[in-house]
Structure 1
Amino acid sequence: MFDAAERSALRASLIAKARADPSISGAALVGSAARDAEDDWSDIDLVLQLAPDADEPRTVDAWTALVGELTPIADTFDLFAAGVRYRVFLLASSLQIDLSFWPHDQFRATDSAFQLLFGSPTPPSLPTQPDQHQTIGMGWLYALHARSALAREKCWQASMMLDELRSSVITLMCLRHGLNPWHGRDVDRLPDRERMKLEASRAPRVSGWDLDPSRCELTRLLFDEVQRIDHAHAAALRPAFQQLWTPLITVR
């Protein structure tokens, strides 16, 4: 298991390498380090600005080799978003490192947690909130698929659909309370009454007897959130939702 001292030393080495690398013209810290909120479980998030003439694939490969020289790597994989490559490292110590390689003219803050180390970023583009209408639509879609899965006695599929439905409910709850719903980041900060509702909606076992009440309760929670957002939308949805929250299994 890694410790904070190891993480700090490794991050310092990476920053020093970035300053010395002609392929890199800027760098910034993001995530918990940029928010001054690190704990024992935080990872390393380093944003790198590619030089105008840098060869991106070669630079990424060179930096992967560099990390391997500094510490044993267990695995890596890449995520791509808006033309930016995020190379995610799992170290043998179980520490995660995220290195993102930004084209020179795209280097910028995309979140309020952005600590510039060097370089010249373009104007920031802060993230938008999840779309409530889209979240509601995906929520009732998951509710539909949970119901049909249970009717077909596909309990594990139903369980997966209910997990997604719960995520939709959590997103709407977090937005209502001004909290960050991204990957459940602030769900633990919801008021006790909201978390108690979520806890009560969880099925204790993957069985029809337990999943069906969970499905009905989550569907009601989704409808409650819709009512708080848009009464007219809720009125239009009510007939369908009344069918969706009707139990499939009534006799045990």
Structure 2
Amino acid sequence: MFTPEHRDRTRARLLAHAEADAAIVGFAHTGSHATGTGDRWSDTDIVLAVRGDIAEAAGRWTAWIYDEFDARHHWDLGVSGASVIRVFLLPGWVELDLTFAPEPEFGARGPAWQTLFGTPHEQPPFPPPDRNTLIGHAWHHALHARICLERGRSWQAAHWINALRDQLITLACLRLNLPTAYSKGAHLLPAEVTTPLESTLIRSLTEPELRRALTATITATAAELDHSDPQLAARLTPMLTELT
């Protein structure tokens, strides 16, 4: 895998290319590198302020990254406003997350931001995940896990049990004001949250084991609901218990 020196050289070449590109009027690091909390394994998150056509700039930079770094693959994570977020895999397992933002959308939406050049504009912060939606996903996943067990679909049941645990972790992080995306705050959760989760792990795809794991996951979910929204927990917990 990559070394920190390899990754840093990649960042320096990206910055030099941006400074030489008349259409790029801003360059910022985001993620852990911007806050000084990165480590040997941190990836590279960059936002480019684009003056002009976003698609043209993204296409031109994509071709250059393949030529310059011998990129192996890329895909679009999605869009935020008119911005394009493109994720590249470079040799040595260097991950490059490159956002092409219209000039007016160039600016911090959270604390992880470091401007190297250009003028950032004030942006609304990223909204937290909606608690009601997370709770909805939780009971949805629990229900479908049980249905899959009744149908004898063990792999699909395992999928829904694991997905239910993901919702539970995100709910706990949201309640405790920890990072919610991609379980980034999971390692900061207290033991009273994480210890019960150990029993939710699936050890085999036998029906008794899947039912045991589902029961453990529903039990942990009900406990988190009681912390997050006691009134809603009083309505949902009896129904969730029916699935165990």
Question: Contact 2:72/2:90 (CA < 8 Å) preserved in 1?
Answer: yes
The Cα shift of 1:99 comes to 1.1
1:23 corresponds to which residue? 23
The Cα shift of 1:4 comes to 0.6
Amino acid of the structure 2 residue aligned with 1:226: L
- Could you state the TM-score of these two structures normalised by the residue count of structure 1? 0.92
Question: Contact 1:10/1:70 (CA < 8 Å) preserved in 2?
Answer: no
Partners of 2:23 and 2:144 in 1: CA distance: 49
Secondary structure at the aligned position of 2:41 is classed as: coil
Question: Contact 2:54/2:83 (CA < 8 Å) preserved in 1?
Answer: no
Question: Contact 1:112/1:126 (CA < 8 Å) preserved in 2?
Answer: no
The Cα shift of 1:28 comes to 0.5
Aligned pairs, number: 243
Question: Contact 2:71/2:91 (CA < 8 Å) preserved in 1?
Answer: yes
User: Aligned-pair RMSD on alpha carbons?
Assistant: 1.4
Partners of 2:78 and 2:183 in 1: CA distance: 21
Partners of 2:37 and 2:68 in 1: CA distance: 25
Higher mean C-alpha deviation, range 4-13 or range 60-69: 60-69
Partners of 1:24 and 1:215 in 2: CA distance: 51
Secondary structure at the aligned position of 1:33 is classed as: helix
Alignment of 1:207-226 (within 5 A): 207-226=206-225
Change (3 A) 1:241 1:63: same
1:9 corresponds to which residue? 9
2:232 corresponds to which residue? 233
2:166 corresponds to which residue? 167
Secondary structure at the aligned position of 2:227 is classed as: helix
- Could you state the TM-score of these two structures normalised by the residue count of structure 2? 0.94
The Cα shift of 1:178 comes to 2.2
Partners of 1:30 and 1:142 in 2: CA distance: 33
Question: Contact 1:108/1:125 (CA < 8 Å) preserved in 2?
Answer: no
1:47 corresponds to which residue? 47
Secondary structure at the aligned position of 2:33 is classed as: coil
**Per-residue displacement from partner, 1:39-77 (whole Å, max 9, x unpaired)?**
2211111100001xx232221122123223332211111
Higher mean C-alpha deviation, range 184-193 or range 132-141: 184-193
Secondary structure at the aligned position of 1:34 is classed as: helix
Identity of aligned residues (%): 34
**Per-residue displacement from partner, 1:119-141 (whole Å, max 9, x unpaired)?**
12221322222111111111000
Alignment of 1:84-103 (within 5 A): 84-103=83-102
Change (3 A) 1:175 1:79: closer
The Cα shift of 1:243 comes to 0.7
Secondary structure at the aligned position of 1:205 is classed as: coil
The Cα shift of 1:20 comes to 1.6
Amino acid of the structure 1 residue aligned with 2:190: P
Partners of 1:46 and 1:64 in 2: CA distance: 14
The Cα shift of 1:231 comes to 2.4
Partners of 2:41 and 2:243 in 1: CA distance: 40
1:248 corresponds to which residue? none
The Cα shift of 1:176 comes to 2.5
Partners of 1:57 and 1:235 in 2: CA distance: 50
Secondary structure at the aligned position of 1:86 is classed as: strand
Alignment of 1:1-252 (within 5 A): 1-51=1-51, 54-81=52-79, 82-245=81-244
Question: Contact 2:66/2:72 (CA < 8 Å) preserved in 1?
Answer: no
Question: Contact 2:218/2:241 (CA < 8 Å) preserved in 1?
Answer: no
Listed as ranges, the gaps of 5+ residues in structure 1 are: 246-252
Secondary structure at the aligned position of 1:73 is classed as: coil
Query: Runs in 1 of length 4+ with deviation above 3 angstroms?
Result: none
Partners of 1:244 and 1:211 in 2: CA distance: 12
